[in-house]
Amino acid sequence: MSHRRRPNAAGPPPPEGIGGSSTAEASSTGEERPDLPWAWALGSERRVLALALAFRAANALLVRTYFNPDEHWQCLEVAHRIVFGYGHLTWEWKRGLRSYLHPFIFAALYKILSLLHLDSPWFMAMAPRLLQSVFASFGDLYLYKLSKLIFNNHVAQWALFSQLVNWFMFFCITRTLSNSMETVLTVTGLYYWFVAIESVKGNSVVSKQQAASKQSPPSRKMALLIAALACAIRPTSAITWLYVGLLDFIQMKSKSRFIFLEVVPLGVFVLAVTTFLDCWMYGSRIIVPLNFLKFNLFSSGGDYYGTHVFHWYFSQGFPSMIWTFLPFSISGILKSREWRLAGLIVWVLVVYSILGHKEFRFVLPVLPFMFMFSGHNLAAMAQLKGKGHNEKGRLSRLKLSVILLILTNVPMALYMSLYHQRGTEDAMLYLSREAHDGRVKSVLFLMPCHSTPYYSTLHYNLPMRFLDCTPSENKGTLDESDRFLMNPADFVGEVFGNLSSFSHIVLFESEERHVKLLLRNSFQEVRRFFHSHFKVDRDLQSSVVVYSQKSVL
């Protein structure tokens, strides 16, 4: 079967940069390049999107674990408060560090569920991830399109394979984290940016009128608009777009046109819209991106939640995310010589390494580009011909690589999504059903702060209390969460007394033994949910235990 390919397609190392026609036929040798077994489903971009939608929907339904508090507390909790009038706002919202733009997307979903009377416990828990799965599927589609644009259709197929199989992408991309949305916007924006580069390079003979329009292709405006939205949702996304913009800005003939007729108008427009939204919701004049950058970059406020060594992203964080795709991606970088995207990955990792507080999700937006390089290497492996490489041996090497990637990623993806740290999600779904049946009056969470979802999952307006961990302006001051973990029994006795004001208490098994004496007279264990096989944070939080007052039972 003959395939369309670009002259700089994968195989022998292609020349640097983007060039050539996307409609060029296969090489003059007439060689046929084998596709993926399911390549028939990728015959068009519409089919790619359909495959991605189906895969990510299943992905969302299989994610039943707790990963990062921001998924619930900085998005869904806020959206729930907007629509239903109750929900907890963390200290970041009181200091104006967060924009309402991202939560508003899920507030719209909650409003639709409410109008259709579908706001049951299951729908409230699963619908947000299903909506995010739609956005994630467009991220998959645009990774495919970007890979096809830069390399060829064959590389695009293997890049998509890499992204769908990778354990961390499966584990994280359908969660309602702002980083997940930032990742989708980054891939989409870069696709339009590279389309603009292609359109400028592809027109060598143009009229004066065309030359003028060539300075500002529509796709570049689209890329800048998407970049502005990404920065509005996550101001640190500017790190990515500063690199992308500067590389081309240096080579531009009309720099002032680019700055004053493209960047500034689009940036001001998005900033004005989001600032108006935030001022309306906060009830005061506020510029969230400025507050966010001042706190996280200039004052190192994020360090309150822990710091890592400088090399953490390079030595532990990013390798853990990309996992066994790492050698394939590095080989793909060397073979493709697409230094612009490789440089972007290194740039982002270096800049984030400067910051003390580090998390896996911060560098999620550049993870898809590693899968492009993995796809390049797998495509080159599939079409490798030369002395001593017969058809059987060539396919066997590829098959072994694919088997290795599947066996090392799929089980890990399923374990992390279905089992590791699922107890807190299960406990909240249980409490939600009990509350709707009238058997829960109030809840106390005796566990590290933000260990569980909250009102957005409970979806019932009753008193709840968790251990606060708002950063203190006085360094060295311990918050409630730290004080409890240091001496659980004394802290509970001092702050909550005999606990009689709560109908239910939720805690980890690791802290249960410390407060069991306080619970034995008035409370009885009603449910115990598996949480983790491995140590999380300070202790092995193997189970989440729910206690209820005997009088309620």
Condensed to tens digits (0 to 9), the pLDDT of residues 386-410 reads 334 555 555 578 899 999 999 999 9
Structure confidence at residue 393 (pLDDT): 54
Q: What angle do CA 268, 269, 272 make, to 5 degrees?
A: 80
Distance separating alpha carbons of residues 463 and 480, to the nearest angstrom: 18
The answer to whether residues 63 and 129 touch, using CB atoms and an 8 Å cutoff, is: yes
Q: Tell me the average pLDDT across 220-231.
A: 96
pLDDT of amino acid 477: 79
Judge whether 445 and 455 are in contact, CB under 8 Å: no
Nearest to 88 by CA among 104, 72, 110: 72
527, β-bridge pairs: 546
State the SS3 of 454-516: CHHHHCCCCCEEECCCCCCCCCCCCCHHHHHHHCHHHHHHHHHCCCCCCCEEEEEHHHHHHHH
pLDDT band per the 50, 70, 90 thresholds, residue 327: very high
Domain chopping of the chain, boundaries: 45-201+218-386+395-419, 422-549
Alpha-carbon distances of 182 from 133, 135, 139, rounded to whole Å? 14, 10, 10
| Mean pLDDT to the nearest integer, 122-134 | 96
Query: Mean pLDDT across the stretch 300-304?
Result: 62
Is 40 exposed, middle or buried, given 0-12, 13-18 or 19+ CB atoms closer than 10 A? exposed
Quick one: pLDDT at residue 217?
81
pLDDT > 90? residue 303 = no
Partners of residue 355 on adjacent β-strands: none
| Torsion sign, CA atoms 297, 302, 303, 304 | positive
What was the pLDDT predicted at 503? 95
Q: What is the separation, in whole angstroms, between the first and last Cα of the chain?
A: 69
